[in-house]
């Protein structure tokens, strides 16, 4: 069976096919059969009853669970799983083509403490049990620099509410980014929300990082080759977060460093 997109050339003779599209579609189908991939890419209907994922049943143990959000190829998920075989790690992304790579590596290396979840990140509190996650890593997410896209940033208050519901009390969140704007924005959000910053490193590679911070993602390697500075924040959430402001209020309060 052939998957892909075919186009008629300008001369009208024959077709050429989008092999990249073919590859993605094949991978989308392939990950459906992977035992270490769970797929919930459709946003549940409002009010729909969802049975939370039972990770203890999936992994066959009750070991601490860490999530990597916007995991892409799962470089951090895999790196952490190799370092800490006594813990469980789940990479979360909506793009199945990227998840395929990490899931395939985990299967080839027989990393039984690794799984991947294809799902919208803003739905995690509906898909996971309350207090089931020990730590969250956010590695090189899209910074969404336009002010109108601020609510899509993975450190926006609306996402912090999602994380608070799935984390254990005192659970740690780590952000690793090359974006100075996202780093500064996150520090402001944390201050406004009363979050406790545990580690704040404005230049991870100024000195030799520890073994965990030394894990490098595909995009991180590219950023370093281009001379970009890698920044890191680790923090915890308070027991109670401020309510998410209305869109009108959000747009009325620009964040420093953002264009109007």
Residues 6+ apart with CB under 8 A from 216: 75, 224
Active-site hit among 142, 178, 200, 210: 142
Report pLDDT for 6.
38
- Here the tokens at position 92 are 């979360």
Report pLDDT for 28.
74
125 noted as active-site residue: no
**Alpha-carbon span 243 to 33, nearest angstrom:** 40
pLDDT, tens only, 44-102: 666 677 889 999 999 999 999 999 999 999 999 999 999 999 999 999 999 888 899 99
> Measured between alpha carbons, how far apart are the two ends of the chain, in Å?
50
pLDDT, tens only, 134-148: 999 999 999 999 999
pLDDT(133) > 60: yes
Length in residues, the chain: 260
Cα 172 to chain centroid, rounded: 15
pLDDT(24) > 60: yes
Cα 75 to chain centroid, rounded: 11
Q: Give me the phi and psi of 252, to 5 degrees please.
A: -85, -10
Q: Which one has a higher pLDDT value, 31 or 259? A: 31
Q: What's 119's DSSP letter?
A: S
pLDDT(25) > 90: no
Average per-residue pLDDT for the chain: 87
Report pLDDT for 96.
87
Q: What pTM did the predictor assign?
A: 0.85
Q: How does strand 133-139 pair with strand 65-69? A: parallel
Distances, alpha carbon 54 to alpha carbons 23, 85, 111, in Å: 31, 20, 19
Report pLDDT for 18.
55
Report pLDDT for 250.
52
15-21 average pLDDT score: 52
Which among 155, 153, 135, 133 has a CA at the least distance from the CA of 145? 153
Domains (range + CATH), the chain:
36-46+67-128 (3.40.50.150), 144-260 (3.40.50.150)
Report pLDDT for 5.
38
User: What band does 10 get if pLDDT is binned at 50, 70 and 90?
Assistant: very low
**Alpha-carbon span 187 to 63, nearest angstrom:** 31
**Alpha-carbon span 232 to 213, nearest angstrom:** 9
pLDDT, tens only, 103-118: 999 999 999 999 999 9
pLDDT(254) > 60: no
């Amino acid at each position: 069976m052939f998957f892909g997109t075919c186009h008629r050339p300008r001369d009208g003779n024959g077709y050429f096919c989008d092999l990249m599209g073919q590859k993605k579609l094949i991978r989308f189908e392939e990950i459906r059969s992977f035992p270490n991939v769970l797929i919930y890419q459709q946003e549940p209907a409002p009010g729909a009853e969802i049975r939370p994922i039972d990770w203890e049943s999936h992994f066959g143990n009750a070991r601490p669970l860490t999530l990597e959000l916007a995991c892409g190829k799962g470089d951090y998920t895999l790196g952490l799983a190799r370092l800490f075989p006594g813990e469980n790690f789940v990479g979360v992304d909506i793009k199945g083509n990227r998840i395929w790579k990490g899931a395939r590596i985990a299967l080839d290396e027989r990393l039984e403490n690794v799984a991947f979840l294809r799902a919208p990140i803003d739905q995690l509190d509906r898909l996971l049990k309350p207090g089931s996650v020990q730590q969250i890593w956010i590695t090189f997410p899209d910074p969404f620099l336009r002010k109108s896209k601020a609510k899509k940033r993975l450190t926006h208050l609306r996402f912090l509410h999602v994380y608070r519901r799935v984390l254990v009390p005192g659970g740690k969140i780590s952000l690793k980014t090359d974006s100075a704007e996202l780093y500064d924005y996150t520090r402001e959000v944390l201050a406004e929300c009363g979050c406790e910053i545990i580690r704040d490193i404005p230049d991870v590679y100024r000195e030799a990082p520890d073994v965990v911070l030394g894990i490098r993602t595909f995009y991180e390697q590219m950023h370093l080759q281009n001379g970009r500075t890698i920044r890191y924040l680790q923090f915890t959430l308070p027991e109670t977060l401020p309510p998410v402001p209305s869109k009108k209020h959000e747009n009325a309060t620009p964040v420093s460093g953002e264009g109007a």
